[in-house]
Structure 1
Amino acid sequence: MHELPASVRVALWVTHAWADGTRMPDALRRALPDVDHTEGLREQLDLWRDLGEAAVLVALPGPGHTAGLPRCGPVATEAAVEAGEALFVPGLGGMLVPEHSSYGSAGATAHRIDWVAHDSDPVPVHRIEALDHSQLERHLRQRVLAAVDDLEDIDGRPWSSDIAHDLVDDRLGADWALPPQLPDRARSVIGMAATLSVAATLGLEHSGALSAAHEHTRASALRSLHRDAERTLADATNAACATFAGWVPTR
């Protein structure tokens, strides 16, 4: 089962918990039901909250694509790109990057995340307030149409096996274990972006059995779609967190 990145889930559930007074252990259990042990997360979240932060935000960077990250040093940037995700706070600055690992014996493996703190610059809140789910949805739909056109030009298919296609279908319309108080438009955009990210990833993992030149075009289209889906997922999450924090009204 493909799930939302851990940082996306933590940002949504924790920001909502800060807003409505939900106990932090309960919020983290809802955010990370598939994680058996965490280190470095609760303590840093409590510190940020005590220092006046109202929202935890998320970045989903990739190699050569770090626009969503707050300004930070090369070590922090490299760690976030390698993880593909990071949490940060806009007011004081500061970032947490997850390091995933497993432990236990064969047949009884557990999932652990160590959250490593890094320095980062503050982010102007007005950049987050300007994010709009309707605009994000329109942009992503345009990118989907562009990717479909690229694939049709080479008679390519995003998925080359029924198994991969079924995995994508399984996620369409899923709620992704999002907070129930999430506005409907935010839920829709986050779900669409997450599903498209999974779709593009699965497409890249399963060759289209095309010529080398066509396969290159197909892979480029899917990588571009994956980047756009991940950026939209991060932006839609942060827009939802801005709503939870009371920075903007529900749209």
Structure 2
Amino acid sequence: MLKEPRSGRLASWGNALLAGLVPPDDVAVAVVGEDAAHRVSGLPGEPAPVGLTLALGRLRTLGTTGLLVALPAPGHPLGLSGPPEFNARALDAGEAVVCHGAALGLVPEVREAGPAGDVHVDVVWHVLPVRPAPPADVPSLGEAERELAEALRDATAVLSRLDVAGSGPVAEAAIDAYRARAEAGREVLAPGYPPRAVRVLELAQRVGLLVEIAQENGHGGAMSASEMAARAEALRPVRRTARRAQVAAYNAVVEERERGKR
């Protein structure tokens, strides 16, 4: 959860491009990030994979007015609307981008090559048809913010009860990494997003950090299999809430624009 999903970068910066707030080259650099390259395959009218800049321009001509994020998990098709083939591919990847205004979606395929310590990551976004319907289980920003406040309390309580919070080198390293990223003044979302969306996304990432600490940092008092299962069960709704909030934040620009039309 600490790591920004690639679908979030593509949707966030793609929305800024569609709104005319950033130039195409800046978008490509921001979306690729630390990866080696991103290509888009299966784009209507393009027989071969193309670069991000060309792909986003073509999606605009195909009617795309915004990009939405989906972060599905088993039993939770968050942000998806079908059909089954697209949902299955998105679930396998754990993420996807859905085009608002065009019945298309993009699912990333991540390819790694090279020796340990010098791994190059290439990403191919596969374009597939989607069903033009409301995405599943995406809350409003207000709902997400309220749910996150409760989830943060729940996560902290679980960590404290299991004697995990703030203990051990893994927990300390995770917290230090989070603080370093925040202090670096990183751009959480691309230009054009409301401050509330930035706040919700940052809080969702913090909640996700606590879940990671609980799962990866020792076992505290939960040494038996049954106690480990109980911990996982207690944290499952917290993780789900954080994922829902992430999607709400990334989709805020499109959702707010659509509400303004009503």
Matches of 2:78 and 2:2, distance apart in 1? 25
Matches within 5 A, 1:64-83: 64-73=75-84, 75-83=85-93
Q: How many residues align?
A: 242
Partner of 1:93: 103
Q: Which amino acid counterpart does residue 14 of structure 2 have in structure 1?
A: V
User: Which secondary structure does the structure 2 equivalent of 1:247 belong to?
Assistant: helix
Structure 1 pair 168–109 and aligned structure 2 pair: CA distance change class (3 A): same
Partner of 1:223: 236
| TM-score, with length taken from structure 2 | 0.80
Partner of 2:223: 211
After TM superposition, where is structure 1 displaced by more than 6 Å over at least 4 residues in a row? none
Q: 1:173-201 CA deviation, whole Å, 9 max, x = no partner?
A: 72553224432211110111122223313
Structure 1 pair 6–82 and aligned structure 2 pair: CA distance change class (3 A): same
1:12 Cα shift?
0.7
Matches of 2:60 and 2:211, distance apart in 1? 36
Partner of 1:19: 19
1:114 Cα shift?
1.0
Matches within 5 A, 1:53-68: 53-68=64-79
User: Which secondary structure does the structure 1 equivalent of 2:251 belong to?
Assistant: helix
Structure 1 residue 103 and structure 2 residue 128: aligned?
Answer: no
Q: Which amino acid counterpart does residue 114 of structure 1 have in structure 2?
A: V
Partner of 1:242: 255
Partner of 2:127: 117
Structure 1 pair 171–102 and aligned structure 2 pair: CA distance change class (3 A): same
**Uncovered stretches (5+) of structure 2, i.e. residues with no partner:** 41-50
**1:63 and 1:81 in contact (8 A); partners too:** yes
User: Which secondary structure does the structure 2 equivalent of 1:61 belong to?
Assistant: coil
Matches of 1:135 and 1:28, distance apart in 2? 32
| TM-score, with length taken from structure 1 | 0.83
1:119 Cα shift?
1.7
1:166 Cα shift?
3.0
